[in-house]
Amino acid sequence: MINSSLVKIEKVSKYFGKARVLNDVSFEIPKGSVLGILGPNGSGKSTLMRIIAGLIKSWDGNIYLEGKSIIDDNIYLHRAGFLIEDPAFYEHLTAAENLMMLSRLTDSPLDNIERLLKRVDLNRSANKLVRKFSYGMKQRLGIAQAILNDPDILFLDEPSNGLDPHGIVQMNKTISNLNKQGKTICLSTHIVDHVKDLCSHIIILKEGSLILDDSIENLFKNTTKYDIKSDNIESIKNKLSQLKNLTILEETDKKLTIDSKLNLSELLKNFSESDNLYSINKKLDIQDLFS
Amino acid sequence: MILILVKNELEKVLRRKRTYISFLLIGILIPFVVGAISNGGTTLEKSIYGQLSDSFFFIGSLLNGYLATYIIIAVLINHMPFLSTIIASDIFSGEYSRSTFRMYLTRPISRTKVLASKVIVVLAYTSTLMGFFFLYSLIISISWLGTGELAVFHKGILFLSSDEVIQRFTLAFLISNYVMLTISLLCLLISAISKNSVTPIIITISIVFVGTAITYIPIELFKIINPYLFTGYINSFLRAFHNPIPWSHFGSLFITCTVWSTLFVSLSLFFFNKKDITD
């Protein structure tokens, strides 16, 4: 259930030397949403995450958590969890010891640790040195440390980075479950395919500037692309070619991708049973949003 | 909160093998040196007596555990900065290079307190190491060579009674430890602005080396600035065995080292609080 905004980013700018890496970025993170921050490498996603996490000290603008500015007061970190880029732990300590150390900083109950490790499927490796963990295990431990203090909002910077396809599916499942449990999630990624399934809102950063801020629902509503699947693509193609303002973008044996300003019902009117139409769906091409 | 942070820092430090390298080196080195002193005792005594043997008749031996400890400390003290800065050099730079601050500093804790906890651990480590160095040298030397009066050179040859020697060694420890703490805090400052653990040791040792050179180079300018440099006091512990004890010199040492230590901690705080964690 998405309600009012939990976090408000207001005109945030950041310079590294003379280079401006964030340029008056403003957006809101709705409570209960999964907001995806998209952008190519160097677009300022990680810098923005680090500013929110309190890792970057000097920046312009303001950030509010439920209306309260986070500047000069890091108490908001009690309500937030972070996984910033690659997971980095004290590798000479075990997974449980790492979590124990962090638990003490937020006064979180120590008996949570076992439950958390089980939740990220690391309970059998609790007493193993982190040095011996695979990348995927470290990333799961990264999620565990981020939710250690039961935060209201999670900031995950490239959570799928370096994971194999199975790991990515698992990570997405974990993120989705956390959202279902009521946590607001803000994740940055440059892998656009993951966003459609996972996010309710997206923003796009390009060269430090915000170029898009919308909900996935709206983006689907406004897209003009359709995927049409059928056993009889030739017949469908013939019928569509008679329509005005329609372009066929891609064609395979059983699928056509078209661009048309017609709505779904207007399109459907053109087909008959003999066309063996399986499905016709709006297609959201995130890549297009970057241009 | 500060106690929790200190506990965390201790856990990070005590679980690392490099923490124990300095103790291991001292543990191995001291028995060798004591053994060497014991075997070369006659030569050593001749060099101590020197021309005094022409004027005096010595009964018994000057060589005992106290003298051996005195010699060991005098010889090795200039190398202690290498060992005592092992932890300080890595305490910030290690976290930067391994990116662990990305996780640690995203908790609701103040950076000032994080720095305070690291300073406490560095001071504790240096003091423990110096204490171990003094105590271990004494124990090994006394067990091997026994006790007796301590003969030191100060305005001729000075004999300190065995009752007094332990107090003098305690004072010597306090003096040398105080200087070593300043050196460790210098290393901590460099660690707070450096991204690798080797640079702080190299820079600290270079500064100590240059500072010590200034002490020994007989140039008027160096003589003027030397009392204000903490490096000029590295060998001041030897004066703990003088008669009378030069308390005014130790007062200058205390003030100088305190001022430098305060400066190093303040600068570390300034840099660490401003630092953007971008790695």
Of the residues A181, A199, A216, the one at which a domain ends: A216
Strand, helix or coil at B92?
A: coil
Q: Residue A205 and residue A268: Cα distance in Å, rounded? A: 36
Of the residues A216, A245, A279, the one at which a domain ends: A216
The mean pLDDT of A68-87, rounded to a whole number, is: 87
Give the number of domains in chain A.
2
Mean pLDDT of chain A: 86
- CB contacts of B110 in chain A (<8 Å) are 74
pLDDT tens string B201-240 = 999 999 999 988 888 888 888 888 888 889 889 889 999 9
The pLDDT value recorded for residue A239 is: 79
Strand, helix or coil at B36?
A: helix
Among B8, B98, B106, select the one facing A101 at the smallest CB separation: B8
* A54: contact with B, CB 8 A cutoff: yes
Beta carbons of B33 and B72 less than 8 angstroms apart:
yes
Contact yes or no for A56 and B276 at CB 8 A: yes
Q: Residue A68 and residue A79: Cα distance in Å, rounded? A: 13
Q: How confident is the model at residue A1 (pLDDT cuts 50, 70, 90)?
A: very low
Compute mean pLDDT per 10 residues along chain B, 279 residues long, and list them.
Answer: 93 93 94 88 69 68 85 90 91 93 92 96 96 95 87 77 89 95 96 91 92 84 87 90 90 96 97 90
**Look-up of token digits 């016709």:** A280
Tell me what percent of the residues of chain A surpass a pLDDT of 90.
34
How far is B199 from chain A, CA to nearest CA, in Å? 21
B91: left (phi over 0), alpha (psi -120 to 50) or beta: alpha
pLDDT tens string B186-205 = 999 999 999 888 999 999 99
Interface test with A, best of B103, B273, B277 (most A CBs within 10 A): B103
Task: For residue B229, give the nearest of B221, B243, B133, B125 by alpha carbon.
Answer: B221
Identify residue B227 by its one-letter amino acid code. Answer: P
The pLDDT value recorded for residue B22 is: 93
The pLDDT value recorded for residue A189 is: 82
What value, to the nearest 5°, has the Cα angle with vertex B136 and ends B132 and B139? 145
A271/A190 same-domain check: no
Give the other-Cβ count within 10 Å of A107's Cβ: 11
Q: What is the ipTM of this complex?
A: 0.83
A203/A238 same-domain check: no
The pLDDT value recorded for residue A3 is: 57
The pLDDT value recorded for residue B196 is: 87
Nearest chain B alpha carbon to A102: B104
Q: How confident is the model at residue A186 (pLDDT cuts 50, 70, 90)?
A: very high
Chains A, B: CB contacts within 8 A come to 85
A31/A113 same-domain check: yes
pLDDT at A220 over 90: no
The pLDDT value recorded for residue B48 is: 66
DSSP collapsed to 3 states, A173-223:
HHHHHHHHCCCEEEEEECCCHHHHHHCCEEEEEECCEEEEEEEHHHHHHHC
For residue A243, give its domain range: 223-290
pLDDT at A2 over 60: no
Identify residue A175 by its one-letter amino acid code. Answer: I
Domain CATH for A83: 3.40.50.300
Q: How confident is the model at residue A161 (pLDDT cuts 50, 70, 90)?
A: confident
pLDDT at A105 over 50: yes
A94/A143 same-domain check: yes
Does the CA dihedral B39-B45-B47-B48 come out positive or negative?
positive
Q: Give bridge partners of residue A12 from the DSSP assignment.
A: A25
Distances in Å between the Cα of A68 and the Cα atoms of A57, A60, A61, A232, B71 are 18, 16, 14, 58, 64
The mean pLDDT of A67-86, rounded to a whole number, is: 87
The pLDDT value recorded for residue B60 is: 67
- Strand A201-206 with A60-65, pairing: unpaired
Interface of B with A (CB under 8 A): 4-5, 7-8, 11-12, 15-16, 98-110, 273-278
Task: Give the residue, A262 or B90, on which the prediction is more confident.
Answer: B90
DSSP secondary structure string for all residues of B113-130? HHHHHHHHHHHHHHHHHH
- CB contacts of A103 in chain B (<8 Å) are none
Nearest chain A alpha carbon to B102: A84
Q: Residue B118 and residue B116: Cα distance in Å, rounded? A: 5
Domain CATH for A228: 3.30.70
The pair of structure tokens assigned to A174 is 């974990």
Interface test with B, best of A74, A98, A153 (most B CBs within 10 A): A74
The pLDDT value recorded for residue B199 is: 92
A188/A261 same-domain check: no
The mean pLDDT of A159-173, rounded to a whole number, is: 84
The pLDDT value recorded for residue A250 is: 82
Task: Give the residue, B55 or A49, on which the prediction is more confident.
Answer: A49
A164/A197 same-domain check: yes
The pLDDT value recorded for residue B49 is: 66
Beta carbons of B11 and B117 less than 8 angstroms apart:
no
A118/A230 same-domain check: no
Contact yes or no for A75 and B108 at CB 8 A: yes
Q: Residue B41 CA to chain centroid, in angstroms?
A: 27
Q: Residue B35 and residue B14: Cα distance in Å, rounded? A: 31
Which residue ranges make up each domain of chain B?
A: 2-273
Task: Give the residue, A154 or A163, on which the prediction is more confident.
Answer: A154
A157/A245 same-domain check: no
Q: How confident is the model at residue A59 (pLDDT cuts 50, 70, 90)?
A: very high
The pLDDT value recorded for residue B271 is: 95
Interface test with B, best of A48, A58, A79, A84 (most B CBs within 10 A): A84
| A94 exposure class (CB count in 10 Å sphere: 0-12, 13-18, 19+) | buried
A119/A259 same-domain check: no
Of the residues A216, A231, A261, the one at which a domain ends: A216
Contact yes or no for B99 and A90 at CB 8 A: no
